Amino acid sequence: MAVGIAGVFFGLLVGWIIGSQHGGGGAPPAPAAPSTSGSSAAGPQPQTPQPLDESRAAAMKSEAERNPNDAVVRVQLGNMYFDAERLQDAAEWYQAALKINPKDVSASTDLGIVYYYMNQPDRALAQFDRSLAVDPRHAKTLLNQGIVRAFGKQDLNGASASWEKVLQVAPESEEARAARQALDGVRAAHKNVGAGSGTGR
């Protein structure tokens, strides 16, 4: 069912699926392609990954080894590997960061995004739940939760509920603008989705 909404606003949402990456430093990475194409759900479109700076990665790994309690360098490594579409490596570094700082909502959500791109939507949603247990009002997590519900699980009602929550917690944010467009697109294609609820305008 989610395939019917893909053409309307998928390009917008695919930029937001990685919206919590890099915490404000630099441009967000290009979306990674799913590892398989057999699903009926629309998935992220393949794009050219950013080449990995092997020397910088090696230096950061050495720093991580010297500082076993440094979560920040591990998140940075996760970001680098995500940019390069080395998803398993990215997941391992985010997991390592979260062992040190389990309350890092952005790293937790980044890990959930990696799971989604690894075609593990259930695992992604479970990770988003962990993020929201720390911060129930984290708009980027809620937005990405809606995207995974829509495109990973074909659950448009669940996706709409997530996007409605974005409008409630951060009505003037960029995430809210994306959520509002997503809701409008879903409802234009599927009149019965989220019937009776507003879009926060």
Ordered per-residue pLDDT tens for the chain, 201 residues: 333 344 444 555 555 554 444 543 333 333 333 333 333 333 344 456 788 999 999 999 999 999 999 999 999 999 999 999 999 999 999 999 999 999 999 999 999 999 999 999 999 999 999 999 999 999 999 999 999 999 999 999 999 999 999 999 999 999 999 999 999 988 887 766 655 444 444
Its pTM stands at 0.77
Q: How far from 107 is each of 44, 60, 75, 86, 98, CA to CA, in Å?
A: 21, 17, 7, 16, 7
Angle at 73 between CA 98 and CA 29, to 5 degrees: 90
CATH class of the domain comprising 3-189: mainly alpha
Which residues have a Cβ under 8 Å from the Cβ of 128 and sit 6 or more positions away? 108, 109, 112, 141, 144, 145, 148
